Amino acid sequence: MTAQPQPTPLNRRRLLTGAAAVAAVGAFGGAAIAPDVAHAVGDGFGLRVVSPPNNHGGRLHYYRFATDAIGWDPAVNVLLPDGYHTSGKRYPVLYLLHGGAQDFREFHLHQNIVNLTAGREIIVVMPDAGTGWYCNPVTTFVGPRDWEQFHMHQLLPWIDANFRTFAEYDGRAVAGFSMGGFGALKYAAKYFGHFCSVSSHSGPASLRRDGHLVVHWANLSSAAKDLGGGTVYGAPVFDQARITADNPIERIPSYYHKRVFLVAGTLQNAPVDWWDVINEGQVLAGQREFRAALSHAGIPHVGLERPGGHTFRHDMFIQDLDGMMGRLRRAG
């Protein structure tokens, strides 16, 4: 089990409010902030905030970081629940991971995440991930692209230090679409003690099937869009140990005592599209293999198949969110 982040001055600063916060900031460095500022954050855990915090309109807040883990400045949207600034409550957190050829704005701009989560007492964290498959790559020719390092060792403790969260197993869920669905399954297994709920919306769950097709897919897409010809898993020779460590189907015991939600399209009633046929067909087959392995191990899960292709289904996300809220620690 991965150790939880330890308290630091940055952790302690977030517990202070009002005049106490203004007085304390000087002790920890940085400019004093007024108590009525919507949300002030600090640097830490290898992250330096390089863009002024931008409130998109109430609940949604944007931050961009400089980090040695990534060769450019990745960003994150943090969606706060209604009443966050006045409630004094702590909240569970959902890490919501985007797909390939998308970025941290995907769920805000294209998936209506603000309305989908209205009235829910949960913080939603939506970070950049490039097309890096939520991995530290074997090779890169464009500088560092250590997305796993950025997400799990920098961003996650930074969120806990700067927002009123439950920094514990029952306080976090992870979900994603497509590449992000794979990332969610991977992170939930590799960092078992961090997430009590994991959800994959049209995300691959098996890397080795059909001649390592998903590994080839990850290598090719990351080489073209993220790594300047480098690869996530190595080429022409794969790093087999890394594949095993990341492969959900090879990590089945890591899903014990978690809520597991899976959904994939069946391609029925979908437009004739070679991308859907190749992509969602492989996703569906891998999720069926994964679900069978979970069932064989006696691990409860929700596994759904819906008509259509490779798409983020809002109705399935709402159903997923209902289940998450039932598993996560309640705000308070």
Mind telling me the catalytic residues? Answer: 178, 276, 310
Sequence-distant contacts of 143-146: CB under 8 A, at least 24 apart: 143/71, 143/72, 144/68, 144/69, 144/70, 144/71, 145/70, 145/71, 145/226, 145/227, 145/230, 146/69, 146/70
Tell me if the bond preceding 236 is cis, omega within 30° of 0.
Answer: yes
Contact 223, 181 (CB under 8 A): no
Contact call for residues 294 and 301 (beta carbons, < 8 A):
yes
> What is the sign, positive or negative, of the torsion defined by CA atoms of 212, 214, 216, 219?
negative
The dihedral of CA 163, 183, 137, 192: what is its sign?
A: positive
Spatial contact of 14 and 161, defined as CB atoms under 8 Å apart: yes
Helices (H), the chain: 9-13, 18-28, 84-87, 106-109, 113-116, 147-148, 156-162, 179-190, 209-225, 240-246, 274-296, 314-327
Rounded CA-CA distance 279/314 in Å is: 19
